[in-house]
Amino acid sequence: MPERDYPDHRRVLALLWRATDDPAPRSGLTVGGIVETAVVLADEAGLNGVSMRRLAERLGVGTMSLYTYVSSKAELVPVMLDSTYGELARIAPPERGWRARLESIAHGYWDLFQRHPWMVEVPVSRPLPGPNTVDRQEAELEALDGVGLDELEMNSTLELVRNHAGSAARRAMEISYDIERSGVSDDQWWYAVEPLFTSYLAGRYLPLSARVGQAIGAPHSDPRYDFEFGLARILDGLEGMLASRARVE
């Protein structure tokens, strides 16, 4: 596992909830302005492209000025996350039913991760929730309340949907990065690799692999297809479980 830089949770929570006043604004800086600029920088250069030095340059201040507000990048990232969660699209209304509501939740995360690909790079095993995160969690739980799930199942269902959207978005980010780094598309890359790869397969009888390889075509390199297919199967499984419980009752 890569080393993690754990921030002081007390300082992060204070930043998230703006529990302390901004220092005297002689420089014109505010925590909100710093976070907004950091998000733009991450959108442009990825999470690794965000540093306190680069952020200070973008804001037109000295690096030491930033430390008056945020002491490290590790403290800043959770606040950046919470800020972007405030952009999530509205959940479908109750009259649409739980399935449509979960679909809207999943699509909201997919769209958010397309706008801010760096979000899927952030470890979230120990999340520090801010106001946007808390409000969104409540709204998402409300979408599942009363459908036949207990509290743990409601939470696990939301985690499953979020993680699925994040996994597909990460795949999309990796494809985009590979294209940018190599200068060739997936089709161009495979066109160059296929003859050599095929020569290594000479003499192997792989009828199913050959058939599937011919069939998948474009969808294989389309993370959106994988996202939609996986989401439908998740919802089908949940629907089947709820229907089975209803029959027993």
Q: Evaluate whether 78 touches 10 at the Cβ level (below 8 Å).
A: no
The Cα–Cα gap between 68 and 27 comes to: 11
Structural domains in the chain plus CATH codes: 9-84 (1.10.10.60), 91-246 (1.10.357.10)
Counting Cα atoms < 13 Å in the Cβ hemisphere of 50 gives 24
What are the pLDDT digits (tens) for 191-213?
Answer: 888 888 878 878 888 788 777 77
Is residue 219 predicted with pLDDT exceeding 60? no
The pLDDT score that the predictor gives to residue 211 is 76
Nearest to 144 by CA among 163, 135, 131, 157: 157
Which pLDDT score is estimated for 4? Answer: 53
> What single letter denotes the amino acid at residue 79?
V
Report how far residue 185's alpha carbon sits from residue 108's, in angstroms, rounded to the nearest whole number: 27
pLDDT above 70 coverage of the chain, percent:
92
